[in-house]
Every structure is written in structure tokens, then in C-alpha cells.
Amino acid sequence: MVLWLLAVVTGLWLGQASAPDGSLPAPSNVPGAQYPRVHPDNSVTFRIKADGAQKVTIGTYELAKGADGFWSVTTRPYTPGFHYYSVVVDGFTTTDPGSQTFFGYGRQNSAIEIPGPESDFFAPKDVPHGAVRMEWYYSKATSRWRRVFVYTPPGYDRDRGTRYPVLYLQHGAGEDETGWSRQGHENFILDNLIAAGRSKPMIVVNENGTILPRPGGPPPPPRGPGAMIENRFTEFDEVVSRDLIPFIDATFRTVADRDHRAIAGLSMGGAEAMRVGVNHLERFSHIGLFSPAISSLDPATHYDARLADAAAFNKQLRLLWIGIGTEDTLHPGVRASHEALQRAGIRHTWVESGGGHTWTVWRKYLADFAPLLFR
């Protein structure tokens, strides 16, 4: 143990230096890990120790074995931003020890952050910083203690007379309540927007939208292309409306009315935001759908026909925001939904951006969406 910890401490002193080829350890690496490395052209060298392996792959790349028992590959240039990846060694799919882990695809996963000028809006800067709190509260809907992440804006502890609006912001399928602070850097995005005067100071709440079954609980949701839009997310709806909102309003200095409450989410979280938001227009006045898992929405029938009377719906909702990347496999279904909403006269903001189904896009959506809230 002693020898081991001396080795670790000494090993970390090797540090994170730039190589002669200009490459640098990825900012998403664990401290001291030299690989993966990002080159000036945004190509990446992965390097894995697996001296007894037959085959090592990362995504579509097959790594080659060196004489030292390390496998490596240098990729084509990546686009700047956040990319999940797995290492597959002889059929075993898992993490790269060089990477920090991020909960995605239902497990702790590796990811590589390719830095660039596009990273500026979520970089920690010399501006006042908010905090991200882990809070625990008892949920009657799920009969257990739940953890929730809560961003409080800069000055929250000091400005005791101030009350704040709240954005409930959800992750995607296979992710959890850590996603928006770890992968998403929501705190730095909001810190920077608030410092620039572009967003109102607000509280942001991240719950876990993955509801596990209870013995004797409801059956699994239906499968198939329409599943997400048909899914009632009953348990998550109960958690948010019966347990979470009262907890947040009792614990934080919120403005506890619908005009000062928004709900948004990405992918599955977008489907949840739409369902819970439309179910509770008495609670929410703003809804944000980031690359939502919503396909071919029919405003006349879906969501218990609550969108059928467009004039009444438009009057209640101050903002319905929908964004999707043109390279996202969900793009056709979301675009069709947008067109159906348009035909039905449902007022909404439509953003067709570049990019795919990635956190690179969702961070930008948060930075576009937050300034529109609570105006």
C-alpha cells in the first residue's frame, strides 16, 4: 500500500506537458493521464495497455499493438465538443482508464472533450460563480430518498432579499442527474450568461428521469417509434409535480408560480419535459425541447388533446422552444412535429442547427434557451 501510494504520487508528477508534436492530454482526462491526446488538427491518439489482447477497438477505429504491449491509434480530426466513447478489448466493452467517467448509455462511460473557440461559452471565467448543490429529499411517489442537483446563481447566499425563477432541466436516456453539470457544464454556461447580462439569474434543477420499476408497479412503457411520445412518464410526472417542486419551493428562495417556472430536457428528457409541462400548465409557462425524442407529433390527439385548441394553448404557454440538429437521426421526426405544430397554429420557436445528437449541441441549446426565459 505504501509503495503503491508513493508510486501514484510520484507518477502524477509526470504531469500534463505538451509533446513536440503539439499534442496535449484531453481536458476530459483524469489528472496526469497522458492519453488520449488531442493534436493541433483535433485528431486524437488513444493508447491502451492490453498486452494479452487479440483485438482492441474504439468506435470504428481498430488499434494496433506496439512492441511495448500498448495498443494505439490516431484518428481523423474530431469536431470540437464532447464525444462519448468506449474501449472494446476482446469483446469487453468498457472505459478507458485515462478518461474521466460520465454517466451515459446506462453506465459510467468515457468521453473526450475536444477544446476549441466553441468551448468559450462554458469555460470557467473570471466572473462571479454559482454553486451546484446535491440535495436529498424523500419522494412519496417512489418511496425513497432521491438526490437532486441544484444550480444556484452567483450571489444566491448573499442577496437574501432576492427570489429566483426555476428551470427544471433534464438529461437523456441512459444518463442521470449528474449529466447537466458534468457533461453539460450548465453552471459555467449560466455564470457566463448572467455575468454578460444575457440571462436572468435563475435556479436550475436536475433530477433523474430514469424511473426504475417497483415491485407491483406499472408495466414497462410501450416500444416502437411512437413510444416516447405515447409514454406518460407517470412516475417521473409524480416525482416532479408532487415531490420535487414542493421541495424546491420550500428549500430555495424561488418565485413559486407558473410564470417563473420552466421545464426543458434533451432527447428522452425532451419527451419528459413536453409530457410533464403540458400536463401541468398550472405549474409551467416555458417548455424547452432539445433534440427531443418526439416523432411525428399529432397536436390534435397526442398529449390528451391538450394542444387541440391552439388559441387556448398559445395563451397559456409563454414559450415552447424546439431545437434539433440536421445531422441528428431524430431530425426527420422532430421536423415533422414542428411542421404539424405550425399547421395547427401552435406558437413555438424553431431552431434547426448543425450537429448531431450530442452534448456539444445541447450545451449550445441551453445557452440559446436560457436568455429567453422569464422575460
Name residues contacting its own copies, limited to 248-307 (CB under 8 A): 251-252, 267-268, 293, 295
Number of residues that bind its own copies (CB under 8 A): 89
Q: How far is the CB of 259 from its own copies (least distance, A)?
A: 24
Q: Does 115 sit near its own copies (CB under 8 A)?
A: no
Q: How far is the CB of 17 from its own copies (least distance, A)?
A: 7
Q: Give the rounded distance of the alpha carbon of 143 from its chain centre.
A: 26
Q: How many beta carbons lie within 10 A of that of residue 129, not counting itself? A: 16
For strands 131-139 and 24-25, give the pairing: unpaired
Say if residues 278 and 248 touch (Cβ distance below 8 Å). no
CA dihedral 358, 359, 363, 366 (to 10 degrees): 70
Task: Give the CA angle between residues 358, 361, 367 to the nearest 5°.
Answer: 140
Q: What is the footprint of its own copies within residues 190-219 (CB under 8 A)?
A: 210, 212-213, 215
Q: What is the footprint of its own copies within residues 160-179 (CB under 8 A)?
A: 160, 172-174, 176
Q: How far is the CB of 345 from its own copies (least distance, A)?
A: 28
Q: Could you say which of 24, 53, 308, 340 contacts its own copies (CB under 8 A)?
A: 53
Q: 65 vs 280, which CB is nearer to its own copies?
A: 65
CA 203, CA 207: separation in Å to the nearest integer?
13
Q: Does 375 sit near its own copies (CB under 8 A)?
A: no
Closest CA to 263 of 247, 278, 248: 278
CA 25, CA 42: separation in Å to the nearest integer?
12
Q: Does 64 sit near its own copies (CB under 8 A)?
A: no
Q: What is the footprint of its own copies within residues 80-109 (CB under 8 A)?
A: 87, 89-101, 103, 105-108
Q: What is the footprint of its own copies within residues 3-42 (CB under 8 A)?
A: 4-6, 8-13, 15-17, 30-33
Q: Could you give the string, one character per residue 120-159, with x where binding to its own copies holds by CB under 8 A and - elsewhere?
A: ----x-x--x-xxxxxxxx------x-----------x--
Closest CA to 256 of 279, 236, 284: 284
Q: Does 316 sit near its own copies (CB under 8 A)?
A: no
Closest CA to 148 of 123, 171, 119: 171
Say if residues 11 and 32 touch (Cβ distance below 8 Å). yes
Q: How far is the CB of 98 from its own copies (least distance, A)?
A: 8
Nine-digit cell string for 75: 484518428
Q: Could you give the string, one character per residue 324-363, with x where binding to its own copies holds by CB under 8 A and - elsewhere?
A: ----xxx--x-----------------------x------
| Main-chain phi, psi angles of 81, to 5 degrees | 130, -160
